Amino acid sequence: MEAVKLACATCGQMNRVPRDRLSAAPKCGSCGEPLDDGRVHELDRLSHDKAVRGDDLPLLVDYWAPWCGPCRAMAPEFAKAAKALAPEVRLAKLNTEDHPDIAGRARIQGIPALVLYHRGREVARLAGARPAAQISDFVRQNLRP
The catalytically annotated residue of 8, 11, 31, 68 is 68
DSSP 3-state of 26 = coil
The catalytically annotated residue of 8, 11, 31, 71 is 71
Would you say residue 45 lies in a domain?
yes
Print pLDDT tens along the chain (145 aa): 688 898 888 888 899 999 888 888 899 899 998 888 888 999 998 889 999 998 899 999 999 999 999 999 999 999 999 999 999 999 999 999 999 999 999 999 999 999 999 988 999 999 999 999 999 999 999 997 6
Residue 126 is inside which H or E element, if any? strand 121-127
Concerning whether 68 is annotated as a catalytic residue, the answer is yes
Would you say residue 8 lies in a domain?
no
Would you say residue 5 lies in a domain?
no
Would you say residue 16 lies in a domain?
no
Would you say residue 122 lies in a domain?
yes
Length of the chain: 145
Would you say residue 133 lies in a domain?
yes
DSSP string over 55-101 = -SS-EEEEEE-TT-HHHHHHHHHHHHHHHHHTTTSEEEEEETTT-HH
CATH number of the domain at 59, please.
3.40.30.10
| pLDDT score recorded for residue 9 | 85
Total number of domains in the chain? 1
Would you say residue 138 lies in a domain?
yes
Concerning whether 31 is annotated as a catalytic residue, the answer is no
Burial of 36 (0-12, 13-18, 19+ CB in 10 A): buried
Would you say residue 9 lies in a domain?
no
Strand partners, 27: 34
Q: How many whole angstroms separate alpha carbon 1 and alpha carbon 70? A: 42
> 46: domain range?
38-142
Fill in the amino acid letter for 31: C
